[in-house]
Amino acid sequence: MKKIEQIIISSLILGILSFLYISMPPTNYFLTSSEHSFSSTNQFEEVHTEYIGKVVDIKGVITSVSEEVKFTNIILDSSFLFSIETINLNKTISENDVIIIKGRFIGFDIDNLFEPYSFTDCVIQD
């Protein structure tokens, strides 16, 4: 009888903890402050492995801008891809503009020859 009570209590505790974990709100990266601000993409390239999954600010020159249905893709210095929801694009941008953009670094893909550095949840800083 003692073992059954322990199993029931353990199951209840596990169930409550699972519910609390699942019901936590997701992280809003737009409101998260940057871990570090980089004055150039070259500076970021040297330490990029330390910032996977983290929010950073990077300054660079816009190489390309392409709009899709819900997202605008901005490429800085030919190798940094930033995806911004078009509704969150707060200013007009064009090629050769120098901007500072905040985003969550999702990783480096050596197989992607054109934009190996990818960022999501981005916003252009003023």
State how far the Cα of 115 lies from the Cα of 82, in Å rounded to an integer: 9
What pLDDT is attached to residue 6? 87
Is residue 68 assigned to a domain? yes
CATH of the domain at 102: 2.40.50.140
**Which stretches in the chain have pLDDT values below 50?**
none
Which pLDDT tens digit goes with each residue over 18-37? 888 888 887 777 778 888 99
What is the tally of structural domains in the chain? 1
State how far the Cα of 6 lies from the Cα of 72, in Å rounded to an integer: 54
Which pLDDT tens digit goes with each residue over 97-106? 999 999 999 8
* Range of the structural domain that residue 97 is part of: 36-124
Q: How many CA atoms lie within 13 A of 57 on its CB side?
A: 14
